[in-house]
Structure formats: structure tokens, C-alpha cells
Amino acid sequence: MDLNELQRDALGEIFNIGVGRAASSLSQIVNDTVLLSAPEVTLVHRSDAAKVLLGSEFRQFSTVSQHFSGAFDAEAMLVFPESNALEIVRLMVGPHMSIEELSEFEQEAMCEVGNIILNACMSALADLFHLSLNGTLPIHRFGDTESLSFLEGDEQQMILVLQVDMTISQQRVQGHILFLLSVVSMQSLLDCLDNYLREQGLL
Amino acid sequence: MMADLECGTLCSVIDNLEVGVIIINTERRVVRWNNWLAARNCHSAEQADGKLLLELFPEIVGSRLEMAIDHAIRDRMPSLLSPALHGTLLPLYQNAEDRKRNRRMHQLIHVIPLTDAPLQAACLIQINDVTATVSRERVLRQQAENLRRNSFVDPLTGIYNRRKFDELFALEFAKAQRQQKPIAMIMLDIDQIGAYTAWYGNEQRDLVLRDIAAELKAAIQPAGDILARFDNERFALALPGMDEKSACLFAENLRLRIGTLKIANESETEGKLVTISLGLAVMVPEASADTHTLLSSADVALYQATHEGGNAAVCFSVEEGNFHTCG
Amino acid sequence: MENNNNPLLLIVDDSRMSRMLIRAIITDTRPNWRIIEASTGDESIKLVEEHSPNFVSMDVNMPGISGLEAAGRIRIRHPEIKIVLCTANIQESTREAASKVGIHFVPKPITAATIGDAVAFFES
């Protein structure tokens, strides 16, 4: 299973709309400019996702996950290297904090940041595809690459990987968004996507 | 008057929960407002019933809370508003005293979509008072800060830090002065540590520092000798009661001992192993002497050892004013 | 320097799907308009020099120079060209700054309604 060029382009555009809206929300909280973009979408097998993440010398991760269900089932996960997560928290909560204070706030603040971004991405998808999706509340976890749960489990899982570029107050931070779906759910998603493209007269 | 939520016993439960509960319908009007909430802000359940939430709390217009409510009602997605990012979003107070002083409680807010269409309930807003947690965290943070200031151990290597070294060294120096006994001072560092770090990275360098510190610690007398992380690159070792000849032998032994660890170092063109250099000075402190002289002497000796190619222990004889290699 | 009297629209977006969508909607509502496309800010500046379009629809979020910057540069040299910026991230401060230089914002996703808004701005 793979994405053709038009599908990749369309998903990329839809997720960019999602993260764009998330950026608006975040900028209101921070009271400063926030830019978010998702320049690349790739579809990989679960086993290859590890390579994508590990390819960028990360060791410790900060992750926020939410589960979505409805027209398709997906586990959505925002993954930032730990140092980047602390940087985001520092930019959002305040520069005057010590490392200890930041670490305390990291759990909650990242939970909310993840919540905003993941909700925005999924609602962009749901809006454009005229779907109904239910979501769960965000869960935050720390871990290293070994402990990331998505690395275990069904070989048959597909993962949509988005690279995420976040700029807060002119500081640039990078991470990833992962959407884990079963082969069946992925097919549902692609069917919805093709329907959308057809409706728009692009297919 | 809004149609009342048909909830019987459950309503009694909602009303008596120890968290704030607001239930709103698709028009964003209040359908339920529990006792906890009524007690902590200026609206009673009767006053709140049927009103637009934005009317009751005009300050949340355009805020993340308003957007979260939209997300819940329109998109059926739940949201979390953390106290870290929002602190005291709603005008809620723990008691009358706080209300007088405008001291709002810290709030953790969950906005959760409800999907029971017939009940007209579209969205649940749950509010937890986390002020206690916040202030407890503040206390813990203060304690951690105090501990840090009072600590005397270098977090990476586990040996004394600079602050503790200065303190203990001053004491031993003064004792040596009183008793007119010798005190030896060794300064040592890892040869070409910069090149090593560039080759192997920061984390590997930290591991080597730790291993060497452990080896040094094993070599000294736990009771009398003072081993410390002097700064980022140097270790300091004070040996009360040791004369120059013994100290020289001791320094040379340390040098050899680190060599036996056989830590690989590909960044070295010769030898290919991690080595250390040591600078040594010994004093029987006169009444007018001070610690700085002894420290600088050892430091100068270290400089000499490093610039003669490293992997050497050099002694600076304070009396004769010259250097000689130990061993 | 086209001889044709029909309005010329330049669509700038790195997403091919977006360009196709805008083109489809415009062709439907203004069949006499001519359309050219660019996929980056730099390319758009080049095409503006070559073809002098009447209107530009510019995506903000693109690789290379951002749509905001490209719009600014076009504006300085060609103040008569009407520019609409398309973005999902409309922050108050950006919107204010842009309206001061006569740039109109249109939210993404692209729909017949949002393009209708852009067309109304172009023709005002």
C-alpha cells in the first residue's frame, strides 16, 4: 500500500490546514507568533517508522497520544525529542523558569500542546471529508526509542508520518506526528480521501 | 425556563461531586451547574441555569476555552486546559477571603463532548482545583533548591564538588599550618580532552570522566584525602600528611593506574589510549602561607606536564623553585 | 505585457491539489479569466515580472521564501496588483499588518465560498 502523488499532496495540504489552525490557537496562548508547518507526509510500515525517527539522533522522547475512532480508527501521536519538548515548554510558559520548574510543567503543557495540534489535524480531516470522529483525552509519556509502544505489535500496521516544524517567538523546533492505523483503517482513510478528491473534481 | 435535565439520582451525584461540573447544550447554554462551582464563584445554580456560558464568563470570549467548547460540540473532540499554560482562567475562588483579595484558584479544565442527544447535553466542562498541587510543587521546588545549594557532590562523578573542596581544603590546610605537617596538592586532567570529545561526543566524554573519578576514588584514603571535581576539566586531590617523596610516587602510581584502564582513544595519533597529566606541589605551610600558593603551584606543575607532551606527573618544588618529573 | 483584455490571475501554492482546486473554482465562476501558476515564492516573483498579472492568490506556508515575503516584494514593485493570502493560520497581528499594506486574507481550506471572497476582493 502506498500513497500516489495526488493523495500525498492532498493529505499534506489537509494536515497543513490542521496545523495552521493549531498555530493560531497556540499563538493566542503564548501571545506571540507561532508558525506550524508539516512539510512532508510519508506512509510507512510500522517497522520502518523507527528508522524514520531514529534517523535523527533522538534519544529521549516526549510523546502525547490520543485515540480517534469513527469512520476509521487511528492512534495519533505527537513525538518530540525531550530537549525540544522542554524548549517548547520554556517558550510557552516563560523564559524565567529554571530547568526543574520547566520539567514539572512539561507533562501538562505538552499534554495541552499535543491536544491542540492533534485535535486540529483530525478535525481538519473530519471537516473536509464530512466525517464524524471521536477522540480521547491526551496522554503524555516520556520514553526512549525502546519504550515507544508503537514499535511493538502488529506488523500489519501502517503509519502516516508527518514531520512538524514549529516556530515560537522565532525559535524553531522540530518533531513528528504519527498516525497509526490498521491496514483496514488506512484503506478507509484513503477511500475517504479519494471521495473528497472526486467531489472536488480533481479525480 | 430551560427544561430540566432528567437525571434523578445522578443529578444528586453531580451536584455533590468535589469537582466543578458544568453541562452545556448545543446552544452553549448552561443545563447543569453543580454546588461545588456555585460555592466558588458568584453565580448560583439558579442564576446560571439557561444562560449562555459566555454571558456568565465574558472574559473567556475568544479564549482557548471557547475554542475547546466548539471543538467538543462541533467536532466531538475533548480538550485539556492545563494550569501550566492558563493558570487561573475562570473567576473561581477557594473562599471569601481569596475572593476579596482577588486570588483565583489554579484550575485544571477538561472539556468533554457528551453524545446523549435526547438529554440536550452536548458538552461537559470539568474543573479541578489544583491550587494545592501548585503550592506543594512550589514548596518542593524550594526544598530542591535549598538542597542543591547545600549539596557538596558533583552530580556527574559523585565525588566532591568545587564548593565542598574549597571548604575541606581550607580546613586541612589550616590544620597542617597548626601542626606544621606537610600537605600535598595534586591537580590532574585528561590529556587532549577536547580532541576526545570532538571524536566521541559529549556523552562518551562524561562516561570517561566518571570512570576516571571512580578509579581515583578507589586509590585514595577515604578518611583523610580529599578528591574533588575542581572544574569542568580538572580534578583536585589534597593529601594531608604526605611529604614530597611519597606524593611523587603516589602521583606516578595514579598515572599508571589510569593507563591500566586502557580506555580507547582513537583521536590520539600515538598510544591510542586515554591518559592523564598530573601536577603536584607539597607544602609545610608557614604561618603566613595561604591555600592559593599551593593551588597555583600544583596548577603550574600540571601545565608543565601537559606541555611536555602529557601522560606525565610533574612536581613543582616550592622551596627549590623547579620542576621535576615524578617516577 | 499581454494584449488580451481578460484578467490574468497568478495562483501560487506548493500544493498541486490546491492549485488545481483554485483553478477549478475560478474557471467555474469566472470562465473568461486567464490563469498561470507558480509553486514557490521565488517562481511567483519571476512570473509577475514576465506576465504582469492583475491578481495573485498566494499560499502563505511554502518552502523557500514565505508567501508573506513574496507578497510584500510583489507589492513594493507592483502596488497595482491585488493580492490575496491563503492560510489556515490567521493571527490578528498578521492580519492587521497585511491589511495596512492592502493585502487581503482568506482562510484555508479552499472552498467555493472562500474563493468567492477572494474574487470579490479582486473585483472591488
Q: What is the pLDDT of residues B270-279, one digit of tens each?
A: 778 999 999 9
**Cβ neighbours of residue B267 closer than 8 Å, sequence gap 6 or more:** B192, B195, B196, B198, B199, B200
**Range C89-97 average pLDDT:** 74
Cβ-contact A67, A178 below 8 angstroms: no
Share of chain B above pLDDT 70, in %: 95
Who's near B129: CB < 8 A, 6+ residues apart? B19, B20, B40, B92, B94, B105, B106, B107
Contacts of A200 in chain C (CB under 8 A): 21, 24
| Contact between residue C38 and residue C59 where contact means Cβ atoms under 8 Å apart | no
Residue C4 pLDDT greater than 50, yes or no: yes
Of C21, C87, C91, which has the smallest distance from its Cβ to A27's Cβ?
Answer: C91
- d(CA A168, CA A32) in angstroms, rounded, equals 7
User: In this predicted model, which residue has the larger pLDDT, B24 or B148?
Assistant: B24
CATH number for the region A5-199 comes to 3.40.1550.10
Q: Is A119 on the interface with C (CB under 8 A)?
A: no
Interval C5-49: pLDDT, tens: 899 999 999 888 888 889 988 988 899 999 999 999 999 999 999
Read off φ and ψ for residue A43, nearest 5 degrees. Answer: -110, 120
pLDDT at residue C2 greater than cutoff 60: no
pLDDT of amino acid A193: 93
Q: Is A4 in the C-facing interface, judged by CB distances under 8 Å?
A: no
For chain A, list residues with pLDDT below 70: 50-59, 95-101, 145-156
* Cross-strand bridge partners of residue A163: A40, A176
Residue B86 near residue B134, CB atoms below 8 Å: no
Cα distance between residue B238 and residue B256, in whole Å: 19
Residue A7 Cα, gap to closest chain C Cα (Å): 9
How many residues belong to chain C?
124
Per-residue pLDDT band for C1 (boundaries 50, 70, 90) equals very low
Q: Are B80 and A137 within 8 A, CB to CB?
A: yes
Residue to substitute from C20, C61, C111, interface A, most A β-carbons within 10 A: C61
Rounded to whole angstroms, the Cα distance separating B70 from B120 reads 16
Domain boundaries, chain A: 5-199
ipTM above 0.90, yes or no: no
Q: At B281, is the secondary structure helix, strand, or coil?
A: strand
Query: Does the pLDDT value for residue B19 go beyond 90?
Result: yes
Minimal Cβ distance to B77: which of A92, A100, A119:
A119
Chains that touch B (3 or more CB pairs under 8 A): A
Contact A138, A111 (CB under 8 A): yes
Task: Give the fold, CATH level 3, of B8-137.
Answer: Beta-Lactamase (3.30.450)
Q: Which fold has domain B151-325?
A: Alpha-Beta Plaits (3.30.70)
pTM of the complete model beyond 0.90: no
Residue A134: list chain B partners with CB under 8 A: 76-77, 113, 115
Instruction: Please judge whether A123 and B75 are an interchain contact, meaning their C-beta atoms are less than 8 angstroms apart.
Output: yes
- Tell me if A20 and C21 make a contact (CB, 8 A cut-off): no
What structural domains does chain C harbor? 8-123 (3.40.50.2300)
Residue ranges, CATH 3.30.450.20, chain B: 8-137
- The pLDDT value given to residue B52: 94
- In chain B, CATH 3.30.70.270 covers 151-325
Q: Is residue B79 within 8 Å of B144, Cβ to Cβ?
A: no
Residue C90 has pLDDT above 90, yes or no: no
Rounded to a whole number, what is the distance in Å from the CA of C102 to chain A's nearest CA?
Answer: 21
Residue B81 in this model has a pLDDT that exceeds 90: yes
Chain A positions in Cβ-Cβ contact with residue B63 (cut-off 8 Å): 28
